[in-house]
Every structure is written in C-alpha cells, then in structure tokens.
Amino acid sequence: MISAASRPYIDASVPVLREHGLTITRTFYASMFAAHPELTNLFNMGNQASGVQQQSLASAVFAYAANIDNAGALGPVVSRIVHKHAAVGIRADHYPIVGFHLLGAIKTVLGDAATEPLLKAWEEAYGSLARLLIDAEAKMYADAGVQPGELRAMRVIELVRESDNVTALRLAPADGGALPPFKAGQYVSVEVVFADGHRQLRQYSLSDANGKDSLRISVKREDAQADVPAGAVSTWLHQNVKVGDVLNVSHPFGDFQPDTESNEPVVLLSAGVGITPMIATLNRIAQVNPERRVIFAHAARNAAHHAHQADIAAAKARMPYLHVVTFYEDGAIGDALPGKMELARLPSWPKGETDVYLCGPLPFMQAQWNALLAAGAPAARLHREVFGPDLLDNLL
Ligand SMILES: Cc1cc2nc3c(=O)[nH]c(=O)nc-3n(C[C@H](O)[C@H](O)[C@H](O)COP(=O)(O)OP(=O)(O)OC[C@H]3O[C@@H](n4cnc5c(N)ncnc54)[C@H](O)[C@@H]3O)c2cc1C
Ligand code: HEM
C-alpha cells in the first residue's frame, strides 16, 4: 500500500514514466552493472544486449504504478516475476541494490522534474513492491525446500537430436538422489560457465512428464543471423555437452501449468521450440487420462524442424481422442497442412468453456491470441508461456 501523501505523486508520474521508462531502465541497468559487475552473472545478458529485458522491467514498473491499489490486476504479473526470480535465485538483499539504482536513474533522467516528494513517493512504491516480491519469493523457496540460488548437479544421461536445431537432454541427479517434483509447463534454469569465467543462466521448459527417472529439456540452437549473433548458452550447450557431463540446474519453477489432471477437453497450440511445455503436458495426459479429448496443434518450418515427433506418435497410440494438427510453413508433407497455423483450419471446439494453452514466438502468440478472442474465447480461458521476458503487455 502507498500512503495518501505519496499517491498523487505516483499518479502524476505514470505518464512521465511511460514516456521515459525505457531510458530510465537503461540508465538503471548501466549504473547498477557498473557498481555491481558480479550481477552480470545473474542477469540474462542476451536479453540486455537485445533490449528485451529493459522493456520488461519498464513495463513492470508501469504496471505497478498504474495499478498501485489493484492487487487483482497485478497478480499475474507478480506471479510470473516471482517464479522467474526464484528460478534465477534472487535474494532479499538484492532488492536495496536495485532500488538504489532505479531511484537514481529516475532522478537522473527526470532531472528537475524529480522533486524530493516525487522521489520519496517512488521509494515508497518500490519498497512496497519489493516487500511483496521478497515475501512471495521466500515462500517459493520454502515450498521448494531450496535456498535462493541453489542449483543441483544433474548428469546428462542421454542426448537425442530431435530436429535440425533442437537437441533433447535427459538429466538425472548426479548424487543419485530423488528428482524434484514439477508440473507440466514448468521450467528449470540451466547454468553455463564460459571459458572466460562469465556465468549465465537460461530457462528451459521441461519437455517430458513427471514420474520418470530423469528430467528432460529440449534446447534449440539459436544460430547467428545476418544482424544478430548466435545465442550464447544454447550454442554452448549444443557444442559442448556430452553424455556423462554434469550441468547445474535449478529447482523447477514457473506458473504456466496446464491442467493435466482434469477430464475437460483441452487445446494445446505451439510453434517452433514452443512445443516443449506442450509435449510435457501431452505426455502427462497420456499417462494419467489417455481418454481425454485433446487438440494438439503445432506449427513448424518443415519436417526437419519438427521436434518431438516420436512423443506425438506415442501419445497418438495411447489416446483415442487426441486430435493432432500439424502445419509446415514450407509446404505440406504427409498429414501436415501447408502454411502457418490458422484457427479456421483446426477442428472446432466450444470456445467459451475450453482452456487453450499457447507457446511459441511472439508473432505466433499474438496472431493466435487475437484470433481466439475474435472467435469468442474468453481471455480467462487463454494461457500462454513466453520464452523470454513477457512483452505482450497489451494482452495483460
Ligand atoms: C520460461 C522459459 C522457457 C523456455 N524454454 C525453452 C525451451 O524449452 N527450449 C529452448 O530452446 N529455449 C527455451 N527458452 C529460451 C531460453 O531460455 C534461451 O532464451 C534461449 O536458449 C536463447 O539463449 P541463448 O543464450 O542461446 O541466447 P542469448 O545469447 O541469450 O541471445 C538471445 C537472442 O538475442 C539475440 N542477441 C544476442 N545479442 C544480441 C545483440 N547484441 N543484439 C541483438 N540481438 C542479440 C541472439 O541472437 C538470440 O537470438 C525458454 C525461456 C523461458 C523464459
Ligand atoms: C521491485 C523490484 C523488481 C521488479 C519490478 C522486477 C521485475 C522483473 C520482471 C518484469 C522480470 C521479467 C519477468 C519475465 O520473465 O517476464 C524480471 C526478471 C528478472 N529479474 Fe527482476 N524485478 C525486480 C527486482 C529484481 C532484483 C532485486 C533482482 C536482482 C538483483 C532482479 C533480477 C532479475 C533477473 C536476473 C531476472 C531474469 C531475467 C534476466 O535475467 O534478465 N530483479 N524482473
């Protein structure tokens, strides 16, 4: 909660922050990393380089300012942040550092407009959001039975080339202990330490169901494009990991958790490597409720880029009411339809009462989300996972 004295300053500064938000966040990161270079081991420096993380923190600050008294609207944003923070190991003592540099950046960018009362109001607002996140994260760590930042040594017991650029890694606890529990849809952070000693974490959705003797992740190699360099961690994993190696991996977290235990029909829509949480979901449903009605639609560039075909074939063999629809952008092959995924080309389902889960690149998600809303699906029935900071602000 924000005091009555501070509220008018927060309300008045929301439009100003919207205007300068990105500059403020950039200034904030630059000053924080200069003062605390060790934090570059915690943050995703790929997101920093491409600018997406800057946008994401800016949108969180706006969302908070705009909804300062509206816990209901903030809920989903906070939940996503808390899971992500837990997966990277954010600690309570990190918050004053971020607060100091964020306030400093607001002051620098707003100049004379950053009056004492305005800065006080933002200090209070930041403090109140920080408290909320710290408490929620403490609960996440306690429920998971881990310390902030704790990673588990996992041995790579199998590598399967799933497509031209996706390799699946099976991971078993190196100490032979029990696997952590998880829900289909959740992800782990994987640690990579490069030759220069720099350390990075990336999240990978678990791509198989619970109840097995190992975890599985499926990593797409992000090759260099004309204007962007190759992805650091995915390329490293593809080039270096061998069976028998040990990777440090976080406890599973993530609030994208398709309901695998219900009997209701369900629709799973994915594109590209966004197939991973959907395969975990499908495999879990095949385990616990093979008679369930499931529409599983996936879009890939072509058959060579279509990962996890064996999982789909195995699920089909077990699930009489599974309806699989595949789209290949490069043209039809076998049962696959040509072109991009289109809602009109999927079997119909009662839009008002069916949960739809989506995962894939942002343009895919945006197109499906808008088409689903236009077809009468209520937003409350739509659930999405974004493989990066969630920038679909307009969809919140
Ligand atoms: C919840 C969640 C689940 C995920 N699940 C999966 C999964 O199941 N499978 C999977 O493969 N991935 C998954 N990801 C994505 C994964 O975490 C990584 O983001 C991905 O592997 C890329 O990481 P990287 O280190 O290879 O690339 P990075 O080095 O982080 O680069 C990311 C992108 O930014 C571009 N880039 C880098 N530097 C610059 C620059 N200077 N200017 C412009 N662009 C630049 C790169 O070309 C690349 O395309 C998931 C992400 C999240 C958040
Ligand atoms: C009130 C304070 C904070 C807010 C509003 C905030 C907001 C966010 C948001 C919106 C994301 C992206 C979530 C997504 O995946 O969509 C994120 C991720 C992240 N945050 Fe925070 N955060 C706060 C505090 C902190 C602190 C104190 C730290 C540690 C110094 C931190 C480190 C990170 C890291 C490492 C990520 C993962 C993404 C990346 O590596 O770039 N955050 N945060």
- Across the chain, what does the average pLDDT equal? 93
Q: What percent of the chain has pLDDT over 70?
A: 95
Which sign does the torsion angle of CA 135, 137, 142, 148 carry?
negative
Q: Verify that 366 and 271 share a domain, yes or no.
A: yes
Residue nearest to atom 51 of ligand 1 (CA): 387
The predicted-structure confidence for 121-134, as pLDDT tens digits, reads as follows 989 988 988 999 99
Rounded distance between C-alpha atoms, residue 392 and residue 396, angstroms: 7
Tally the domains of the chain.
3
Any residues with Cβ below 6 Å from ligand 2, and which? 39, 42-44, 47, 53, 56-57, 60, 80-81, 84-85, 88, 90, 94-95, 97-98, 126, 129-130, 133, 389-390
Q: Look up the CATH number of the domain holding residue 68.
A: 1.10.490.10
Helix H or strand E encompassing 375: none
Q: Verify that 81 and 120 share a domain, yes or no.
A: yes
Type of residue found at 278: M
Q: Which ligand is nearest to the CA of 136?
A: 2
Q: What is the pLDDT of residue 123?
A: 92
Q: What is the pLDDT of residue 353?
A: 96
Q: Verify that 139 and 15 share a domain, yes or no.
A: yes
Q: What is the pLDDT of residue 396?
A: 39
Tokens 């093979």 found at:
290
Going from the Cα of 343 to the center of ligand 2, the distance in angstroms, rounded, reads 34
Q: What is the pLDDT of residue 65?
A: 67
Task: Report which ligand 1 atom has the smallest distance to the Cα of 277.
Answer: 8
Rounded distance between C-alpha atoms, residue 354 and residue 106, angstroms: 44
Long-range contacts of 361-365 (CB under 8 A, 24+ apart): 361/271, 361/272, 361/274, 361/387, 362/386, 362/391, 362/392, 364/271, 364/272, 364/274, 364/299, 364/340, 365/392
Q: Verify that 97 and 172 share a domain, yes or no.
A: no
Q: What is the pLDDT of residue 393?
A: 54
- Residue 62 pLDDT > 70: no
Across 15-24, 33-42, 50-59, 106-115, which has the greatest mean pLDDT?
33-42
Q: What is the pLDDT of residue 54?
A: 67
- Residue 394 pLDDT > 60: no
Task: For residue 160, tell me if it sits in a domain.
Answer: yes
Q: Verify that 225 and 175 share a domain, yes or no.
A: yes
Task: For residue 235, tell me if it sits in a domain.
Answer: yes
Task: Report which ligand 2 atom has the smallest distance to the Cα of 42.
Answer: 35
Task: For residue 256, tell me if it sits in a domain.
Answer: no
Q: Verify that 158 and 210 share a domain, yes or no.
A: yes
Q: Verify that 106 and 198 share a domain, yes or no.
A: no
Q: What is the pLDDT of residue 391?
A: 60
The question of whether 126 is a catalytic residue gets the answer no
* End-of-domain residue from the set 91, 125, 144: 144
Q: Verify that 136 and 199 share a domain, yes or no.
A: no
Residue 231 CB neighbour total at 10 angstroms: 18
Task: For residue 77, tell me if it sits in a domain.
Answer: yes
Task: For residue 288, tell me if it sits in a domain.
Answer: yes
The predicted-structure confidence for 367-383, as pLDDT tens digits, reads as follows 999 999 999 999 999 99
Per-residue confidence band for 15, with pLDDT thresholds at 50, 70 and 90: confident
Q: Look up the CATH number of the domain holding residue 235.
A: 2.40.30.10
Q: Verify that 284 and 158 share a domain, yes or no.
A: no
Q: What is the pLDDT of residue 7?
A: 86
Q: Verify that 128 and 172 share a domain, yes or no.
A: no
Which range marks the domain in which residue 276 is found? 266-395
Q: What percent of the chain has pLDDT over 90?
A: 79
Q: Do 248 and 189 meet the contact criterion of CB atoms below 8 Å apart?
A: no
State the pairing for strand pair 246-249/152-161.
antiparallel
The predicted-structure confidence for 253-266, as pLDDT tens digits, reads as follows 999 999 999 999 99
Of 124, 137, 162, 222, the catalytic one is: 137
The predicted-structure confidence for 134-184, as pLDDT tens digits, reads as follows 999 999 999 999 999 999 999 999 999 999 999 999 999 999 999 999 999
SS3 270: strand
